[in-house]
Chain A
Amino acid sequence: MAEFGEVLPLPESLDPRAGLLLVAPWSSAPGALLPPLAARYSSLVAVVDERYRSQLRDSVGARLAVVSGPELLADCRSRGALAPRTAYLVFPELYETTLHAGIEILRAGAAYRFSALPLLLCMKYRPQALRAVALGSALGWRSLGCCETGPAPVGAGAKDGEGAARDRRLQSLLKRQLYLEQLELLDALWADAAQREPLCRRTRSMSARRDLLKLICLEGCINLHRRRGHPHGFSLQALRQRKGELASLAGEPAC
């Protein structure tokens, strides 16, 4: 999975006039994904930080736009949809996630944390969506079937009752499709030390940051309790020790 020898053609069933969301692993050669997309879609948008722009541009030239996750969400909110005739490439492993925005998978005793951005986009904007999966030494595509799940965006008039239950089922289904398959990817990465260490470091750092935020809140609550005049009866020694450990882990460079 580290180096994709071949990227298989996109499925013929895709409608190139509609927007496409492509969920891909962040490999050492993400640019390999772009030429097949460039042949089918008039515009390409890679959702990555600015620092990866030049790396990706080398693959398809100036036709590639690079936006960050928040920029893409802002654009989608103002437009109400993903742009037509546009392929969006998202990398769940790449983005640092906040306390509530990630999905965690346990593998080989370690917690890996991935961005829920593709899930959010699928749920809210129902694009044609494909997930990149390893097929032997090549990279193939698996449909996420977002379009078949119904026309109404999740949350639009479905706060309770049957609509809400349908949305919950849909969300659960999409989560399974998107993220249980991530296990395959992790298995592949596990065999590749060069890929594994940066991924371990990034997810470890993100998990530590999440716990550190919780710990700071806990400390804040205890201080507040004491400030209100209660002898708090808490031992803060363990808390401070954990804070130091988490701060050290969260401060690791996120590569």
Chain B
Amino acid sequence: MLRLAARIKLDALATADTLRRDVAARELRETLSGLGITGPRRWRTAWQYHRNRRCTPVLNRQLMRASPETIMRHVRDRVVVEPGQHWRDALLHPGPLLVVTPHYGPFTLGLLRLCADLAGHREVHAFYDPPEKNPGTANVGAIMARCCDNFRPVFNDRRGVVRALKVLRAGGVMTIMPDVYQVNGQCLAVPFLSHLSYAMTGTAFLALKSSALLLHVYVQPVAGGVCIRADKPYAMPVSGNDEDDIYRQTCRTFESLERQLLRDPSYWDYLPQLKARLGMPLASLSGDAQLRQMIDTLSCHLDIDIANPEGGNSTDEAP
């Protein structure tokens, strides 16, 4: 959708961003090195990241200006899904569907495609921060509401979680973005990019409580348009131990995100903040003795007694 002059300007700005010598630029380079991306590929990835960040507001402005008909024509013609079978299987699923995507690439176009494919059949509920909490979401909400009759926002607050659960239990379609986190009671530490990383349990909680089918998707620009890459949809395995199931599902969600980031990290909005969410390196916990020692040290620091008087088996009870 971009004209040549706009593309040249974006390229120049991205180049300037990449060559900056400030802390943010250095941290981004360090993050990429931590992902094993070095040498010329690191510069290319950093440039691509900056270009993508510069593109997002331009794309949003264009989507705000263009007519709904033009936008939906563009979505139908230029937004493709691979593999289509995974997408079709998920959309034809008659029960609840949870579409999971990080803040990755032009995800608004992915959401428009989802709404377009389900238009006339099902509503698409999107779970995200209200504009008061994250002003950037106001644009997305306005674009979606203008273009799609079947789009329904569900804001991420206490009432929103209840509503999301209600929608899914009624067999609805919900999109959710699991890559934001807050340090609170719903935060877990899961393996991610060779570290224990902070992650929210909301996606797993909704899937568990609604038995929704899960579909992980990543929206990425490709030559001539945009591609939605869809993982194979799956139902969350349930053991009867809620805490354990939620932990395992959160791990699985982050395994999927990790695979995508190792393929191409440059489209992830939160790439520069990656360092902040990574806790202990897994290498320091690789042996059972090391892990046990860390558990003892932390429980001692926190002055918390976690010894199981029964010994041996878990007392991790389902709530």
A interface with B by C-beta (< 8 Å): 70, 73-74, 77-78, 209, 211-228, 230-239, 242-244, 247-248, 250-251
The answer to the question of B39 belonging to the interface, with a C-beta cut-off of 8 Å to chain A, is no
Residue B208 is within 8 A (CB to CB) of chain A in the complex: no
Q: Are A219 and B189 in contact (CB under 8 A)?
A: yes
9 contacts between A and B (CB under 8 A): A77-B23, A218-B304, A221-B196, A224-B291, A225-B288, A228-B288, A235-B309, A238-B306, A247-B185
Q: Cβ of B198 and Cβ of A216 under 8 Å apart? A: yes
Known A-B contacts A235-B315, A236-B306; the reply to A78 vs B21 at CB < 8 A is yes
With both chains docked as a complex, state the minimum distance between the C-beta of B55 and any C-beta of chain A, in angstroms: 25
Contact (Cβ within 8 A) B183 A237: no
Establish whether residues A242 and B304, one from each chain, have CB atoms under 8 Å apart when the complex forms: yes
Bound-state Cα–Cα, A234 to B196, Å? 19
Enumerate B280-319 residues with CB–CB distance to A below 8 Å: 280, 282, 285, 288, 291-292, 294-295, 298-299, 301-302, 304-317
B295, A215: Cβ atoms closer than 8 Å = no
* CA–CA, A243 and B196, complex, Å: 18
Q: Contact check: which of A77, A78, A226, A251 meets B314 at CB < 8 Å?
A: A226
Across the interface, name the chain B residue whose C-beta is closest to A230. B288
Least Cβ–Cβ distance between A7 and chain B, in angstroms: 34
One of B288, B298, B306 near A217 (C-beta < 8 A): B298
Interface bits B162-187 vs A (CB < 8 Å: 1, else 0): 00000000000000000000011101
Who on chain A is nearest to B182 by CB? A251
B22 within 8 A of partner (CB): yes
Known: A221-B294, A224-B196. 9 other contacts (CB 8 A): A212-B187, A215-B302, A216-B198, A218-B295, A218-B298, A218-B306, A224-B191, A233-B314, A235-B309
- B252-289 CB mask vs A (1 if < 8 Å, else 0) is 00000000000000000000000000011010010010
Identify which of B251, B306, B310, B316 gathers the most chain A CB atoms within 10 Å of its CB.
Answer: B306
Contact B285 A221 (CB under 8 A): yes
Contacts of A251 in B (CB 8 A): 184
CB neighbours of B22 from chain A (8 A): 74, 78
Is B247 positioned at the interface, with any CB of A under 8 Å from its CB?
Answer: yes
Are B279 and A233 in contact, CB atoms less than 8 angstroms apart? no
Dominant secondary structure of chain A at its interface with chain B: helix
B183 and A213 contact, CB distance less than 8 A: yes
Q: How far, in whole Å, are A52 and B300 apart by their CA atoms in the complex?
A: 39
Complex CA distance for A133 and B196, rounded to whole angstroms: 43
Closest-by-CB residue of B relative to A211 is B302
Task: List chain B residues, Cβ under 8 A from A219.
Answer: 188-189
Tell me if B190 is interfacial: C-beta within 8 Å of chain A. yes
Beta-carbon nearest neighbor of B295 in chain A:
A221
CB distance from A216 to the nearest CB of B (A): 5
Determine if B312 and A74 form an interchain contact, defined as CB atoms under 8 angstroms apart.
no
Closest to B292 in A: A225
Q: How far is the CB of B174 from chain A (nearest CB, A)?
A: 25
Cα–Cα, bound, A237→B183 (Å): 20
Inter-subunit contact B301/A216 (CB<8 Å): no
Tell me, in angstroms, the Cα distance from A118 to B299 when the chains sit together: 31
Q: How far is the CA of A214 from the CA of B280 in the complex (A)?
A: 10
Q: A74-B22, A216-B189, A216-B198 are in contact. Are A236 and B316 (CB under 8 A)?
A: yes
Determine if B308 and A220 form an interchain contact, defined as CB atoms under 8 angstroms apart: no
Complex interface: chain A residues within 8 A of B243 (CB): 236
Which residues from chain A contact B279 at a C-beta distance below 8 Å?
A: 213, 216-217, 220
CB distance from A248 to the nearest CB of B (A): 8
Contacts of B294 in A (CB 8 A): 221
Chain B residues within an 8 Å CB radius of A213: 183, 279
| CB–CB B304/A238 < 8 A | yes
Tell me the bound Cα distance from A232 to B243 in angstroms. Answer: 14
Residues from chain A with Cβ under 8 Å of B298 in the complex: 214-215, 217-218, 221
A234 to B291, Cβ gap below 8 A?
no
Query: What distance in Å separates the Cβ of B274 from its nearest Cβ neighbour in chain A?
Result: 16
Tell which of B291, B310, B312 touches A225, judged by Cβ atoms closer than 8 Å.
Answer: B291
Residues of B near A74 (CB, < 8 A) are 22-24
Are A239 and B196 closer than 8 Å at their CB atoms? no
Residue of B nearest to A208 (CB): B183
Contact at A242–B288, with CB atoms within 8 Å? no
Of B24, B251, B302, B312, the residue contacting A233 (CB under 8 A) is: B312
The smallest C-beta distance from B162 to any residue of chain A, in angstroms, reads 19
Which chain B residues border A243 with CB–CB below 8 Å? 185
Please name all residues of chain B whose beta carbon is closer than 8 Å to the beta carbon of A216 when the two chains form the complex.
183, 187-189, 198, 279
